[in-house]
């Protein structure tokens, strides 16, 4: 897989939701769902083995990760308190 560039906002969101860089590469490289729209980042989704649904938004031409989040509402794993 190509190298990804991480936007500072994406890094902040990864830290907030405890998502690792390796998990981002897993989502983008082996996604469950991919949504492409014109003039918008591509949305990748994957349900990880631990039950978390991770969403990654990537600007495709530059391969820049714009944001990342753990979709707690649609995950099988309960939210940490």
Residue 22 φ then ψ, to 5°: -60, -40
- Tell me if 11 sits within 8 A of 72, measured CB to CB: no
Tell me the per-residue pLDDT of 28-56, one tens digit each, with 9 for 90 and over.
999 999 999 999 999 999 999 999 999 99
Which residue in this structure is represented by tokens 């500072």? Answer: 8
Percent residues over pLDDT 90 in the chain: 77
State the average pLDDT over residues 20-29: 96
Q: Which residues contact 60 (CB under 8 A, 6 or more apart)?
A: 36, 41, 42
Distance CA 40, CA 38 (A): 5
Domain boundaries along the sequence of the chain? 5-74
Residue 79 has pLDDT above 80, yes or no: no
- Tokens in use for 11? 């890094």
């Amino acid at each position: 897989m190509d190298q990804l560039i991480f936007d500072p906002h994406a890094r902040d969101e990864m830290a907030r939701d405890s998502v690792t860089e390796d998990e981002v590469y897993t989502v983008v490289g082996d996604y469950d769902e991919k949504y492409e729209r014109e003039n918008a980042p591509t949305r990748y989704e994957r349900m990880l083995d631990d039950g978390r649904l991770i969403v990654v938004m990537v600007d495709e031409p530059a391969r820049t990760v714009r944001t990342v989040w753990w979709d707690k509402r649609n995950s099988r794993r309960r939210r940490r308190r």
